[in-house]
Amino acid sequence: MKHALKRKLIQIVAFGYSNPYLMNFKGGKLYQGKWKQFCNPGLNCYSCPAASLACPIGALQSVNGSKNFTVSFYVTGLLLAFGVLFGRAVCGWLCPFGLVQELIHRIPTPKFKLKKVFLYVKYVVLVVFAFVLPIAVTDYMGMGKPAFCQYICPAGTLEGGVPLLLANGALRQTVGSLFTLKMAILIVTVIGCVLVYRFFCKTLCPLGAIYGLLNKISIYGLKVDGHKCIGCGKCRQICRMEVDPVKSPDSAECIRCGECAKACPEGAICVGFAATGQKSERQPS
């Protein structure tokens, strides 16, 4: 089976197990079973009527901002486990919103690359919106709000907000300026994803920031064999996450899609659980 097709099928399966309750769209209701005590490894809003699992970033903020706890060991532990096992392979293979972005990017238009400085915005979003604001800004009961979900997350607007408002007339009466802001962010994100490959992953996703930091030690990794590499640069040219796998196989931006390994004419790049993520040096000739 072709590598690209295999990855796409796994992404579709991941999207399917994340959102199996499609009939809930009709009534505008949420799945309320026990699976929702577990977090999805990828970004998928738990207020999406079809969602089967909890959103890890939403869950992290809700525990961090709850009355009884200030730090979520449970969600942090799950994220650490996913990150150590897979790193950003979660983004490339398992994230439902990642698949949505890839499909949007297929719309035929001129495509652009991002300046490197924008790649650091997601770390600011992670610290400020997922940690600082939910813990520091609390109401009279001592509870914080999930600031990333509230002010930024376009996945929540797309998967939860839009379908629920379409299905529920009473909810439509409560639409205000916040929803306008979130729709504006969603529209900017969609346009960004049309023009730039995985625009949201690169610039705003706090989950991508966490997994990116863990890419350096993740068990699912990328290895470049320096003995085989002829320095042709084909891997760098084909990478849509703008990574040079030869220079930085552990880059925080690498989503382990494996396109570089497929493009390498010498078979010098290996992606998988067997790859250590380390570049072996070329022997002097």
Partner 1 sequence: MDSRAKRVARIAGLFTACGFVLYGALRGEVSVVLNKAVNLCFECIGLG
Three-state SS at 15? helix
Q: Which of 54, 264, 268, 270 binds partner 1 (CB under 8 A)?
A: 54
For tokens 């009534």, the residue is 27
* Binding to partner 1 in span 174-233, by CB under 8 A: 174-176, 178-179, 181-183, 214, 216-219
Least distance (Å) from partner 1 to the CB of residue 201? 19
Residue 105 or 182 having the CB closest to partner 1: 182
Q: Could you tell me the end-to-end alpha-carbon distance of the chain, in angstroms, rounded to an integer?
A: 37
The site string for partner 1 over 68-87 (x = CB under 8 A, - otherwise) reads xx--xxxxxxx-xx-xxx--
Q: Bridge-partner residues for 254, per DSSP? A: none
Query: Is 279 among the residues that bind partner 1 (CB under 8 A)?
Result: no
Choice from 47, 70, 138, 248 touching partner 1 (CB under 8 A): 47
Say whether residue 41 binds partner 1 (CB under 8 A): no
CA-CA-CA-CA torsion for 209, 210, 214, 215, nearest 10 degrees? -30
> Which segment (18-26, 116-124, 156-164, 267-275) binds partner 1 by CB under 8 A?
156-164
- Does position 150 bind partner 1 by CB under 8 A? yes
Closest CA to 83 of 252, 257, 258: 252
> Can you tell me the distance from the alpha carbon of 18 to that of 93, in angstroms, rounded to the nearest whole number?
13
Is residue 144 part of the contact set for partner 1 (CB under 8 A)? no
- The C-alpha atoms of residue 108 and residue 65 are separated, in whole angstroms, by 42
Helix boundaries (H) for the chain: 3-18, 24-27, 56-64, 73-86, 89, 96-105, 121-125, 133-136, 147-151, 154-156, 162-167, 169-172, 177-195, 199-203, 206-214, 234-238, 259-263
Binding residues for partner 1, rule: CB under 8 A, are 30-34, 36-37, 39, 45-47, 51, 53-55, 58-59, 62-63, 66, 68-69, 72-78, 80-81, 83-85, 145-146, 149-150, 153, 156-157, 160-161, 164-165, 171, 174-176, 178-179, 181-183, 214, 216-219, 250, 276-278
